[in-house]
Structure formats: C-alpha cells, structure tokens
A and B are shown apart, each in its own frame.
Chain A
Amino acid sequence: MATAEVRHELFGHAEQKNYLTHSKGALSWLLTLDHKRIGIMYLIGVSAALIVAGIFALMLRTHLFYGDSSFLALKWLFGEASQYNSNKVYNQMFTLHGAIMVFSFIIPSVPAALGNMVLPMMLGAKDVAFPRMNLASFYLWVFGTGFLIVALMRGGLDTGWTFYTPYSIETDTGVVYATFGAFILGFSSIFTGINFLVTVNTMRAPGMGWFKMPLFLWALYSTAIIQVLATPVLGITLLLLIAERMLGIGIFDPRYGGDPVLFQHFFWFYSHPAVYIMILPAMGVISELISVHAQKRLFGYSFIAFSSVAIALLGFLVWGHHMFTSGQSVVVTLIFSAITFSVAIPSAVKVFNWLATLYKGSIALNTPMCYALSFIFLFGIGGLTGLFLATLSTDIHLHDTYFVVAHFHFVMVGGTLTAFLGGMFHWWPKFFGRMYNDFLGRVGCFLVFAGFNLTFFPQFVMGARGMPRRYASYDPEFQVFHQWSTVGAFVLGIGIVLSFVVLLHAVWFGRKVAGNPWGAASLEWQSSSPPSFHNFDHKPILHDPYDFDSIVYDKGLDTYVLREFMDPNQVPERVPVTH
C-alpha cells in the first residue's frame, strides 16, 4: 500500500520533524499549547516534587533510625539544643513530605503528566479540547507548589498533611500559605479534569465508541469526574480554615463554638475520593502495560471499564472510614464501614481480570511489565490491608498507627508510583524515540520493589504492635523495625534514582526506535516516534485498541505497523521478537 519511504515517514524514528524539534527556545516550551510539551513540563515538575518530598522522607527515616531523639542522627539539621527542637523539625518533615507528595506529586502524576501526553493521541486527536486551559493548569500547579515552598520558608508547616483543626488554627507555622497552595493546586486539578472530560466526550476519532477506547481513557475519565466534583469541596474547606485562622469565625474552632470533627468530614469528603484520583489512572496504566506486553486482549474489558466508574462513584460515599475514632456517631460509623467494603469489589475485579489477561499471553519480562507485575503484588497487599482498616474493631486498634502508614504507602508508592514509573518506561520510546537500557531498567525496578518491601513491610508489624504514627521518638521495642525501614528507604531511593538515570540517559544516548516498538494497538502508536507536532501525519486508522492481530512486524522499520501499511513484499509476521 504505502511505499517504504512513506512508511518510514509515518511510523519511523522521526529525528528531525517532531514536536520536540518543532520550535526552539525556552519560550517555545513555556508558552506552548502542545499537550505533549505540557505533559513533559508536568513530568519534570512532578518528578522534582517527588525528589524533594522523597528527600524529606529520607531525612525523617534517618531521624527515626534511633528511637530517642537524643541520639540525633542528623544533628546538623534537627538541632542539638533540645528534644523539643528536634521534634519540631521532625513534625515539619513529615508534614511537608505528606503534603508535597499528595498535592504536588501524586495527584497530578499520572493524569496530568502521563495523561496529558497520551490521552489526545489515544483518541486520535490533535490536542486536548482547551489547550490554553491546559497550560493554565500547569502554571497553577507551579504557583500552588510555590506556595507550599513559601510555607516551608515562612516558619514551615507542622500540621500533618490533613490540616486537622484546632491545631492548624493555633500553630504559628505557615498554615495559610500552605492551605492556599493546596487550594490553587485544587484548581489545577479541576482544570485538568474538565479538560479531559470534554476532550474524551467530543474528540474521539470518528467511529471510536465508548467501548472502543483504551482502558486508560476510562480510568482518566472516571478520575476526572472525581476531580471536578470533589476538589471544590476541599477548596471551600481550606478557605474556611483560612478564614477561621484570620478572623476566628467559629466554624472549626471549638473556642468559638466551631466543631473540629466537621473539618474532618469536609476534609475527607475530598481526600478519600482523592485517593481514587491517585489510584484509578494508575490502574489504567497497568491495564495498558499488561495487555501490550502480554500481547493479549484484555480479559473482561467492560468489567474493567465499569469498575473504574464504580470505584469513582462509590468512593464518594466512604470518607467517614478515616474517622472511626473521631467521635462521629456510632450509626454513621457502621454505615461508613459497610460501604467501604463495597469499594474493594471493583478493585478485586480489576486484579482478577489482569491475571486472566496474562493467561495464554506472550509475556515479555521487560521493564514496563516488571513494573506491572510489581504493581499487582504491592497493590494487592496495600488493598488487602485496607480491609483490616475498613473493619471496625480492627481499625479502632490500627487507626493512626504505622499500620495505616504502611497501608497507604503500599497503595500510593507500591501502586501509583510503581504504575507511574512503569508508564514512563512504556511510553518513553514513543515520546523520545529512544530505547533505554532495559537491563538497568529492570534492575531499577527490582531495587524499587525490594527496597519498598523492606521499608514498609516492617511498618505493618510495628503498627499492629501499637507504634503510633507522627512520632518523632518511640519506645525501644519498635526500634528494630524502624531500622529495617530506614535501610529499606535508602535502597528504594537508590532504585528510584537509578530509574530516573536510565530514562534520562535514554533521551540523549538511547538506541533510536521507530513508531511502535512494543507492538501495541492503541492509536498513539500509529505515529512516528517522537510524534510530530500534530501527533499524526496520517489519519489514524481506527480499530480495536486491544486487537493485536491487526499489528504486524515490519523488518524494514524494525517496528510494528498496521497490517494495512505492511510492506507487501514481506510475509506478515505476527510473532513478536523477544526483547
């Protein structure tokens, strides 16, 4: 059908004519309306946030190596003067670690960074519906994160990422800056959400029905619903907190007739759905990785798709499970516990369907697949330990102990961060046209996996034994666990750094690859690598995103192309080569 040259132009490695080389200069990036460039700027931003907050994590873990603050491991930082000072620094460490990780890193990580790069291309579209709004969303992220950093410099922040009142009203640290920062980050998140909803609704390639969308899009769509409907509630909560601090209006401050528990209700009304903002896109990524790298149509497509929506909607009804011990009424507590369990079912459905997808596949154990398998393992543990917390009597014991800390790191780091890294390794060849060193990629993945387990598994044990969270010093019986955990954190850190190094190295020195190195069938792979400024140089040919039979290997290009575009002189080869 097409000549070799045309084929190369459409699906080859685009050295000259791509979105990266389209225009030059800092301004061409900073003012770009191209979703791919915005995605990359987001990627840089959230990775920086991850590293900053990760360094805070390493510092707090180092501090916890010894149980008594008088054995200060970081004397230069935590100060020798008194235990009091070192407590203060510690409290700021975990607060900023939590706040930056949640608001600046994990919520925008998969949707705003990876989603921005991939979503329009998956739809076969040129860009998102509102490119200007997209750029605005990025700058709001910058401002919001900036405010968090300002808070760090203006007396720090020591409320915990949850900003619970009345402590957050009393403390003399930079609560107003930080909450305002989180408020702006909320706007950023809403903008992305609205943009994605409109884009998916109106810009699907002609003929692409809802059930012909890749599952990553279903996940992003469900996420966007939560972003649009839940984030405004956080917005007003934070505004009221600021008003309470500045004016003393008597809503959250018991001294003036306010109610601290009310704050918790409103905070979790957002922040529980927010944990599904974190995990749903990650699950979408995993759906893609598993099917592509096992070359198998996803098992139970519609169940996975609807489970995303179900999780998004049910997620709105369970916020009270963070407040089982808060003094909310007993009846309410029972109801929240019951509904919480219902969220576990759609999650279980996803896990089982991923497994079934592997059945009879052709599983390549390359870096993205390693991350996907690691995700199933770690998210499995994280999700299952959620059941201990959803159960009332056990949560009463486990609440606010390290068990909870371990639970949410298993889902957020073992789940989302793992999927985020896996997604980067999956789409990297597409967006940079270069292949990374797969061996080192897998070593990085293994270090992350091993270091992660070493860091957070001991925390389950010490949590069940009663070690409370947010403790700068602790009883000696917990020390062993803390020490393992600290060692693990460093291994994990090395793994993450290695992964980043592998990816960055590939951008400049990696082997050049053509349009579709994995043999994937969704639309974003029907373009050159890196894609051209307009995403596609030919109108993408619509077919099922998991129809791997429509993809054949092209020896001339050393990549996979659509059957229609295959070199007619070659025998169609369905069998993928091993990597």
Chain B
Amino acid sequence: MFPQILNFLGQADYVNKYVNQFSAEDGFRSKETSYWFPEQASSMAKNVDFLYMAIFWVSTVFFLVIVGVMCYFVIKYRRRPGIGPQPSSSHNTTIEILWSVLPSIILVWFFYQGAWDYLDSKFAPEGAEEIVVTGKKWDWTFTYPDGDQSSELHLVLDRPTKLILRSEDVLHSFFVPAFRQKMDVVPGRYTYYYVKPIKDGIFRVFCTEYCGDNHSGMKTWCHVHKSDAVRKEKTQWIIKDHKAWENGERLFKLNCAGCHNVNGVAATGPALNTIWGMEETLIDGTKVKVDENYISESIKYPNAKVVSGYGPVSKMQTFEGKLSNQDIDFVIAYLKHLKQPGSGDELKAAAPSAETPAAPAEPKQEPAAEQPAPSPGAGG
C-alpha cells in the first residue's frame, strides 16, 4: 500500500534512489520489520517488543471497554423527551477499590518486567568489547579497541559489546532503533550501554537528543558483520593499501562530513564536491581560486578567509594539530577526486610515514615537522 501512496505523491523515485544506495553496499538491509517495529537486531529487542505488545494489548482492552461502555451508555441513555435521568446510586466503595486495585496489579507487572529488561542493557558481561562512541556536532566517531576509527559503527555478530559514549560539545543521544537502545551522550561524563547484536545487516543510527542546527543530519549507519575479519577490513586504517582519495574520503567522513555535504546541498558549511578549481567569493568581496593552498589554509585557519554567506566568524574550528599535513593532502586528493574522478589515484601512499597507522583525530607531530605550515595569509 505504501509504495502506491508514495507514487501518488510523486515521491517514489526519491525513495527508491535512497534505499538502493544502501543495498549496493556490502551488507543488506533487512526488511523484516513488524507493523510497530524495525527488525530485532539485538538480544534485548525481543523482550522490549514483547513488553510493548503486552502493554499495547492490555491498553487496547481497557480502552475498548471504556469506549465501548461509553458509547453504549450514550446510546442507551441519550436524552429523550419525557424521560429524565433514572435514579441510581452515586457511590460504591467496593467498586471504587476494585477498579483501583485491579489495574495496579497489572501496573506492578509492567514495572517489574520493564525494569528487568532495562537492567539487561546496563550491565555488560565480563570481557565485552569496548567501543568508544564520540558524538560531536554533527557526526559520530567510533574508536575500536585496536585504535581504528570509523564514522560508521561496525560490530561483530553475537559479540557482547559495551558502547562507551562521550561528547565533545553538547548533549547528543545514541539511538539504534533496531537494537531498541538509546543513551544520552553527555559532555563532562561517560555514559554507556551494553548491546549484543544478533543479526547481521545495516541499521540506522540516529542522534535523538536535540543538539542544534543539524540535529536531524546527525545520523549514520551501524553495520553488523558476520566475522571479526570483515569488521577489521572495514575499519582498519592502512594507508598504503588505499588510494589517496580513499584515505581522504575516510578522513573527510570522520572529521568534515558533519558540516560539509558532498551532494551539492549546503549544510553548516558549503558543499565541497565541486569547489576544486572554482572561484570562491569571500565575505569581504574578494575572490580566491580554490587550490591546495586555499584548502590547506581553510582547514588550518578557517577564519583567515571566510566564504561569503557564512561570516562574520566561521563556524569551522581549526584542525591544526588534529590533522597532519599528510592527512590534509589526502583530503585535498579527495576533493579533487570529487570534482574529477580519477585524479586522486596516483598519490597512492606517497608520504614517507605511510607505514604508521594514523589515528586521524589525534595530534601527530612527525609529518607536520617536515613541511613548514603556511602561515595565515601566505597561501591563496
């Protein structure tokens, strides 16, 4: 029924395009959703759904009885000429107690069952894998025990996992509907929850605590892989095995995608898929050509040249100290690649420090020492 309605509303194309984008990826997108819920991908999901349906049916029965009785009375005792209200008693303590106590018993069970299922997600078993989830405006970074990082979450099937949540700025909330779990990400403290994925596939991740302008854009995917090896391949950070632009893409997703789209739609910052080689107008009206120097400067000193329409102060914070010069090269390669596919290929594993796995969000000194950083104003 839904596709027809969508078609009718002229949205079907959009939906198909959107969904296909993901079925093309490695996993698959499970369609096993029930009427009320997305698929059950964690060990707790079943219990949650069961309790939900239990409350649902209890409520439905109460509701139907109430509305049924109401309608019956309204029809039976509706006002008719010549007939007044009939005398009937106006209190009855027994019945009052009855209809207070009976629902209470059901409520106690709701509480008990709900608390029990809730505690499941609060206590991780010994030896659970710990993954650090960092929320910042407006993207997620996942750090695995071996130091790898990714912008989409990769889990291993049936492996008990403890997600440790921390925030770099404001409140966020880490919500995976298919797991039926969410937890706020609170600046100034760590929060966590435990989850055991029981189904492989790709699942939606949302930020569900309002965190400002692009709150609704702060979503990503959770991949559950059958084996550790696949997971490793997906998260591993081996520069030399990848083309420069691929490394750049990865860095971009981790650091920049929260604010910059690559689909032409401006977000917090301008879209970056076509900027390479373009003339850009700054807030003071001057024009600059987008080249290596300009991009490198934009990353290190965002406020040196602010694009018109985004001033007076850039919302972008500096990545000086977070991204090495080599990282920046990779990002530049990626931006070039976006404009002219094929152009970022040759740079494959060029830099001398290629062997050391880089943790992108961490300061790295060695490569930075080799090239003197352009001073603000010197480039472009």
Contact = CB atoms under 8 A, between A and B. Distances in A.
Interface of A: 66, 68, 70, 81-84, 87-88, 91, 158-160, 164, 166-167, 170-171, 254-255, 258-261, 294-303, 325-327, 330, 333-334, 337-338, 341, 344-345, 348-349, 351-353, 355-356, 358-365, 373, 376-377, 380-381, 384-385, 387-388, 390-397, 399-401, 461, 464-466, 468-477, 479-480, 483, 546, 548, 574-579
B99 A352 contact: yes
B234 to A, nearest CB: 22
Contacts of B63: 380-381, 384
B85 A341 contact: no
Contacts of A479: 6, 11, 15
Contacts of A394: 48, 51-52, 55, 114
Nearest to B118: A392
A498 to B, nearest CB: 23
Given A91-B210, A330-B119, A391-B111, 12 more contacts: A91-B215, A158-B212, A298-B90, A299-B91, A355-B70, A356-B95, A387-B59, A392-B115, A393-B121, A399-B208, A575-B81, A578-B79
A-B pairs with lowest CB-CB distance, top 3: A466-B177, A254-B188, A82-B266
Interface stretch (B33-41, B142-150, B287-295): B33-41
A326 B59 contact: no
Interface in B142-186: 169-171, 173, 175, 177-178, 180-184, 186
A423 B47 CA distance: 43
B44 interface: yes
B139 to A, nearest CB: 14
A82 B265 contact: yes
A358 B115 contact: no
A377 B74 CA distance: 13
B274 interface: no
A88 B209 CA distance: 16
A464 B103 contact: no
Contact of A396 (B2, B121, B209): B121
Contact of B186 (A327, A393, A469): A327
Contacts of A255: 187
18 contacts: A83-B267, A166-B169, A167-B211, A254-B187, A255-B187, A295-B85, A325-B182, A334-B118, A358-B77, A359-B77, A360-B88, A363-B78, A364-B78, A377-B70, A393-B120, A465-B33, A468-B175, A578-B80
A334 B48 contact: no
B335 interface: no
B230 interface: no
B36 A465 contact: yes
B79 to A, nearest CB: 4
B38 to A, nearest CB: 6
A87 B210 CA distance: 12
Given A461-B36, A473-B216, A301 B186 contact: no
A164 B209 CA distance: 10
Contacts, number: 302
A64 to B, nearest CB: 10
Nearest to B110: A391
Interface in B74-98: 74, 77-88, 90-92, 95-96
Contacts of A461: 35-36
Contacts of A160: 210
A328 B122 CA distance: 12
Interface string B353-372: 00000000000000000000
B66 A355 contact: yes
B107 A387 contact: yes
A106 B209 CA distance: 25
A497 B66 CA distance: 30
A105 to B, nearest CB: 21
Interface in B195-229: 204, 206-217, 219
B188 A362 contact: no
B117 interface: yes
Nearest to A348: B103
B268 interface: yes
A506 to B, nearest CB: 22
A390 B11 contact: no
A351 B99 CA distance: 10
Contacts of B186: 254, 260-261, 326-327
Nearest to B180: A397
B309 interface: yes
A360 B210 contact: no
B215 A470 contact: yes
Contact of B115 (A261, A334, A474): A334
A82 B261 CA distance: 11
